[in-house]
Amino acid sequence: MSVQHLKAPTKSIIYPDSDGKPMADNTKQFEWIGTIAGGLQALFANDPNVFVAGDLLWYPVEGDNKTRIAPDALVAFGRPQGHRGSYKQWEEGGVAPQVVFEVLSPGNTRKEMIEKLAFYERYGVEEYYLYDPDSGRLQGWWRQGGQLIEIAPMRGWVSPRLGVRFDLEGTDLCLTTPDGRRFVSYVKSVQRADQEAQRAEQEKHRAEQEKHRADSAEQRIESAEHRVEQEKHRAEQEKHRADSAEQRIEQERQQTEQEKQRAAAAESELARLRDLLKRPGIDLAG
């Protein structure tokens, strides 16, 4: 009886979504990671073909779950927005993140950062930016001839891919979008939103007050117009009464004139009669 040998099924490779390391070593680093990643997400929110993530594991090689890195922020142009457990490059059309950011913490070693730079150079990153919030050190590299060449100086540098301008205010990183907006932390963005809401409410209140004043002014104008109309009506009535009085006076004058004429006629008639009576042959006593 022959024995059939079965081939054991190939075990699928697992690509963990976490490397077990914390996103940040301290609150300052966490705030800056959030500021950079959040600012990038806001910058490309309306572009469905730009993927932005923070602290997401990137696997550049299929079949190799050991070669991986989690940039503090990454941008992949030509890849759709959406949720991912990790960035598996072979599932992303072979597109490597073109731009990555790292925010230093006291726990990062020089050896570790050299290895990260080598990783990004080897696997196709076009722009790499490194910021130390404690010292204010800002460095950048961009790809030329297959290598990541350091950018000098970084202050005033504008990212070819992002269009974002880099600068420092003291030790604080200042990132400005092409339309002049600053990257701000979540807390500051909430505060700014609250301030904008308060200003909007104040503007609304002022608009309501202006409307109330305008309504009051309109009412006063209407009242004044009504009073003018009443005065005009009274003036017309007075004129009418004056005209009526003048007519009555004219009638009375005419009546008086008529009376005078009648009296004059009567007097003339009386004089005529007296003259007639004085003629001879008329005996008034008889």
Give residue 8's pLDDT: 40
Q: How confident is the model at residue 272 (pLDDT cuts 50, 70, 90)?
A: confident
Q: Judge: domain 27-184, CATH 3.40.50.720.
A: no
What angle is formed at CA 68 by the lines to CA 66 and CA 69, rounded to 5 degrees? 145
Where do the domains of the chain lie? 27-184, 185-253
Burial string for 208-231 (b: 16+ CB within 10 Å, else e) reads eeeeeeeeeeeeeeeeeeeeeeee
The closest of 138, 137, 141, 115 to 128, measured between CA atoms, is 141
Tokens encoding 173: 């990183």
State yes or no: pLDDT of 66 exceeds 90: yes
**How far is the C-alpha of 162 from the C-alpha of 32, rounded, in Å?**
18
State yes or no: pLDDT of 176 exceeds 90: yes
Query: Strand locations in the chain, DSSP E?
Result: 50-53, 58-59, 73-77, 87-88, 99-103, 127-132, 137-144, 147-150, 165-169, 172-176
The interaxial angle of helices 27-43 and 186-277, nearest 10 deg, is 60
Q: How confident is the model at residue 1 (pLDDT cuts 50, 70, 90)?
A: very low
Span 250-269, average pLDDT: 86
pLDDT above 70: percentage of residues in the chain: 89
State yes or no: pLDDT of 120 exceeds 80: yes
pLDDT above 90: percentage of residues in the chain: 54
State yes or no: pLDDT of 194 exceeds 90: no
Q: Please tell me the pTM assigned to this model.
A: 0.66
State yes or no: pLDDT of 258 exceeds 70: yes
The closest of 107, 115, 102 to 55, measured between CA atoms, is 102
Give residue 237's pLDDT: 85
State yes or no: pLDDT of 122 exceeds 60: yes
Looking at residue 113, its amino acid is M
The closest of 54, 68, 71 to 15, measured between CA atoms, is 68
User: In this predicted structure, which of 145-149, 187-191, 212-216, 222-226 has the lowest mean pLDDT?
Assistant: 187-191
Q: Could you read off the pLDDT of 49-64 as tens digits, one per residue? A: 999 999 999 999 999 9
> Residue 136, Cβ neighbours under 10 Å: how many?
13
Span 71-87, average pLDDT: 97
Span 96-124, average pLDDT: 96
- Each as own residue / partner, the long-range contacts of residues 11-17 (CB below 8 Å, 24 or more positions apart, any chain) are 13/63, 13/65, 14/65, 15/57, 15/59, 15/65, 15/68, 15/86, 15/88, 16/57, 16/65, 16/86, 17/57, 17/85, 17/86
The closest of 99, 108, 107 to 71, measured between CA atoms, is 99
Give residue 251's pLDDT: 85
Question: What is the pLDDT of the chain when averaged over all its residues?
Answer: 87
First vs last Cα of the chain: how many Å apart? Answer: 198
Give residue 100's pLDDT: 98
